[in-house]
Amino acid sequence: MKFADLHLHTLFSDGTFTPEELVLNAQNKGLACIALTDHDTVEGCARAAAACAKVGMEFIVGTELTAEHSDVEVHILGYLLDLQNQTLLDGIAKFQSVRQSRIYKMAEKLNQLGIPLKPESVFELANCRSPGRPHVARALVKEKLVGTLDEAFELYLKKGRPAWVPKAKMSALEAIELIHQAGGLAVMAHPGLNRSDEIIPALVLAGMDGIECFHTKHSTAMAEHYLEIADFHHLLITGGSDCHGFSKNKPLIGTVKLPYGHVERLMTAKKIADERRAAAK
C-alpha cells in the first residue's frame, strides 16, 4: 500500500524542519507522496519539490490560507497550484504583510506590559515572510522572558490574553477563488478543529473541492463524520498530520497515512478542472 501525508509545515512558516529535512523524514516514514502546506506562503515548495525529485518521492505544491466565513476562522488548503501565478503571489503577499505588522503590534503590547521584546528579534528568529504567534513565543523563550512556549501562549498570546492581536484574514470565498484562479484545488483543513460544519454548504456552493477528513486531531468518529459529509457533497477527501517539526511536540509526519487512492482522485480532479478552464477560454 502507498500512503501520503498532505498537511505539513516547514520553517517557511511555523514548522522547524527545512524542506530537505521534511523530505528526509517523509522518506524514513515510507511515504509515497507529500504536500507542503505552510501558512499563507508557497516559498518552501520549490526546495521541497527538488528534494522529493532527488529521492523519487511524489510532491504536491500546497499552502494553508488563514481565512474566515461568518466569523468562523477556517483554514483553506490549496493544492496543485501554479507557483508562478502572479495573482496568487500578490494575494499571499498581502496577508504576509498583515502577519508582519501584527508582530510589531504584539511586541508593542508586550512592551507596554514591561516585557522588553523587540520585534526585530522575532523577525530574525522567524526568518520567513509568514511570521506568527509561534515565532513570538519562541523569541520570548529564547530571550528568557518566559519559561516555555506554553507559558508564552497562556500568559500573553492566546486569544483574550493581553498581547493577543487579532489577525485580519481573507474571506474563505476569496481564498477558494484565489486557489482556483491559480489552477489549484481548495480543501477545508481540519474541520473538526474549527467547529465549521455549518459553513460547509456555503463553501461547497462557492466551489470548494474537498475536506480534510483525516487529521492528527480528528478522532476516528470525527473522521467518519467528515467522510459522510464528503460523500454527501461529493467532495474530495484528504488527510495529513499537520506536522510542525519540533515546534509543538515530536514530529507528527507520517502519523496520518492517507491511502494513495485519494491522491489519484485529487490528480484527476485537477486534470478535469484544467480541461474545463481551457475549454472556457
Q: Which of residues 9-68 bind Fe ion (CB under 5 A)?
A: 14
Q: Which of residues 160-179 bind ligand AMP (CB under 6 A)?
A: 167
Does residue 62 interact with ligand AMP by CB under 6 A? no
User: What is the total count of residues that contact ligand AMP (CB under 6 A)?
Assistant: 10
Listed in sequence order, the residues at least 6 apart from 194 whose beta carbon sits closer than 8 Å to its beta carbon are 72, 73, 74, 75
Q: Which alpha helices (DSSP H) does 195-259 contain, by range?
A: 200-205, 220-233
C-beta separation of 40 from 14 below 8 A: no
Q: Which of residues 204-263 bind Zn ion (CB under 5 A)?
A: 242
Does residue 142 interact with ligand AMP by CB under 6 A? no
C-beta separation of 91 from 170 below 8 A: yes
Alpha carbon distance 174, 177 (integer Å): 5
Binding string to ligand AMP for residues 88 to 127, with x set by CB under 6 A, is what? ----------------------------------------
| Only segment of 59-67, 96-104, 157-165, 262-270 that touches Zn ion (CB under 5 A) | 59-67
Could you tell me the smallest distance in angstroms from the CB atom of residue 116 to Fe ion?
26
Distances (CA, A) of 86 to 35, 76, 228: 21, 19, 36
Give the interface with Zn ion as residue ranges (CB under 5 A). Answer: 64, 242
Give the interface with Fe ion as residue ranges (CB under 5 A). Answer: 14, 75, 189
